[in-house]
Structures are given as structure tokens and as C-alpha cells.
Amino acid sequence: MRNVVITGGATGIGYALARHFMNAGDRVTITGRREHVLKEAAGRLGVAYAAFDAADPDAVTEALGRLPATVHVLVNNAGGNTDRARPAARGLRAVAEAWRANLDANLMSAVLVTSALIPRLPAGARVVNIGSIAARGTGSGSYGAAKAALESWTADLAAELGGSGGTANLVAPGLVLDTEFFGDGLDEEGIRRRVANTRNGRAGTPRDVAAAVGFLASPEAGHVTGQVVHVNGGAYLGR
């Protein structure tokens, strides 16, 4: 039985990932910062949980005792856009703070959790990072930049794990509904505009993303590594 760790696993895409791996017969641990949300989700799914801030090195170190001793599959899913408002005029301190928050949430969270768990990854381990269509477009500021950096680091990680038959890939979703990602910040017009960019005329679901991650984590995907897999209905073509 494989041990699967999913950061940000209590809501949205992470929750669908946890359900996917549970249904496949794996032993799943979900993480996140809000213990009550995690506890509730873990109870519903029948999985283990560990509450900690993935972007805080001390918190990650402390959490190691609550994570499996061997991690066959790690999905770095925790993240989100922490700088949605982006006021035009703000001081440099505020700019630095806002950029660092998005880099912390989306890049450092994955780098820290992976670095902490590398000694626990067996031969043939699978790491999947969750990026975003925002890395390839324009207009999303520090969020897109953080997800672009995640793509670059994923390629390095593929080289690091390759010697022992491990893989590292990134799944980049387009618009995915039924998550906490947009909060109350996405209206019908925002959805319509994004769906209009797709080739299949619909928004993505958390299950669409989970299916792609599930394949990359499978034994059959051992020769797929260092890649960015776009799950966006053709809204961006990664060819």
C-alpha cells in the first residue's frame, strides 16, 4: 500500500485528490493550516491529517513527526493567489510583502515540504506539483510568477529524483470551480470569459485535475518526468 501526502488536501482540488487516491487503495495524509477544516475533511474521507503551515520552515520541521516515514507519492497542491487586489499605488514595503506572500504560498510551500520529505522518498517515488495556467498567461502578477518558478524548480527536481527512478511533474489547471480559490471574487461574467477561452466550452472540475495527477503518480507513468501537464480544456495549448 502506498503512502500519499497531499498538501492543501481539505478543500477543492486537494480534497478531490485525496478521494482519488483513497479510492485507488492508497493510504492518504492531507495537510493544511486550519485544523478544524482538515479534521472535518479527514473524517469524511477516512484519511489521516496533519495541520501545519507548509510555507514555514519551522512548522514543516515540527510536522515531520506527524507525517509517514515513507512517502511514495507527494502532491504539492497547497497554494492560491494571496495578492488578488493588487492596488496600483503602494509602497515598496507593501510590494515586497505581497510578492513574498505569493512566493511563499505557491513556491516555498512545495520546496520546503519536498526538501523535508526527500529522505523519506523511496526509489520510484512520485512528486506532482500543482501549478496554474496563470504561469503562462499575463495579468496575474506575483501569483503567475510564483507558479512559473514552480515549473522551473519541478524540472530540477525531476533530475534529482531521476537517478532512483522517481519522477517530478507539474499539473497546471485552468479555471476549476467548486474550490475556495476565488473566495467570493468570481462572478458569472468572470466564469463566462474564462470558459469562452476553452476548446470544450466548460470549466474544469477538481476531479479533472485529480485524474491527471493520478496518472502521473501511477507506475505506468515512470517515463513521464520534468513535464508540465495542462488541464484546462484547451484554454492554453502547451504544445
Ligand X SMILES: NC(=O)c1ccc[n+]([C@@H]2O[C@H](COP(=O)([O-])OP(=O)(O)OC[C@H]3O[C@@H](n4cnc5c(N)ncnc54)[C@H](OP(=O)(O)O)[C@@H]3O)[C@@H](O)[C@H]2O)c1
Query: Is position 128 an interface residue for ligand X (rule: CB under 6 A)?
Result: no
Query: Is position 79 an interface residue for ligand X (rule: CB under 6 A)?
Result: yes
By the 8 A CB rule, do 203 and 231 touch?
no
By the 8 A CB rule, do 7 and 18 touch?
no
Stretch near ligand X under the rule CB under 6 A, chosen from 7-15, 63-71, 161-169, 216-224: 7-15
Q: 61 Cβ partners below 8 Å, 6+ apart?
A: 116
Nearer to ligand X, 58 or 164 (CB): 58
Query: Is position 33 an interface residue for ligand X (rule: CB under 6 A)?
Result: yes
Stretch near ligand X under the rule CB under 6 A, chosen from 30-38, 62-70, 117-125, 156-164: 30-38
Give the span between the Cα atoms of 48 and 31, in whole angstroms. 9
Strands 73-76 and 27-32: unpaired
Query: Is position 53 an interface residue for ligand X (rule: CB under 6 A)?
Result: yes
User: What's the min distance (Å) between Cβ of 98 and ligand X?
Assistant: 15
Nearer to ligand X, 115 or 164 (CB): 115
Q: Which residues of 210-237 are buried (b: 16+ CB within 10 A; e: fewer)?
A: bebbbebbeeebeeebbbbbbbbbebbe
- Select the residue interacting with ligand X from 11, 114, 140, 225 (CB under 6 A): 11
- Select the residue interacting with ligand X from 3, 42, 80, 216 (CB under 6 A): 80
Give the span between the Cα atoms of 12 and 16, in whole angstroms. 7
Query: Is position 180 an interface residue for ligand X (rule: CB under 6 A)?
Result: yes
Among 222, 217, 214, residue whose Cα is nearest residue 17: 214
Give the span between the Cα atoms of 199 and 201, in whole angstroms. 6
Query: Is position 29 an interface residue for ligand X (rule: CB under 6 A)?
Result: no
Give the span between the Cα atoms of 106 and 183, in whole angstroms. 17
Nearer to ligand X, 34 or 44 (CB): 34
Query: Is position 140 an interface residue for ligand X (rule: CB under 6 A)?
Result: no
CA dihedral (221, 223, 224, 225) in degrees, to 10, reads: 120
Task: Write the single-letter amino acid at 163.
Answer: G
Query: Is position 171 an interface residue for ligand X (rule: CB under 6 A)?
Result: no
Is 143 among the catalytic positions? yes
- Select the residue interacting with ligand X from 4, 67, 78, 125 (CB under 6 A): 78
User: What's the min distance (Å) between Cβ of 65 and ligand X?
Assistant: 17
How many chain residues bind ligand X (CB under 6 A)? 29
Give the span between the Cα atoms of 160 and 165, in whole angstroms. 10
Supply the residues annotated as catalytic.
143
List of residues contacting ligand X (CB under 6 A): 7-8, 10-14, 31-34, 37, 53-55, 77-80, 105, 109, 130, 132, 173, 175-176, 179-181
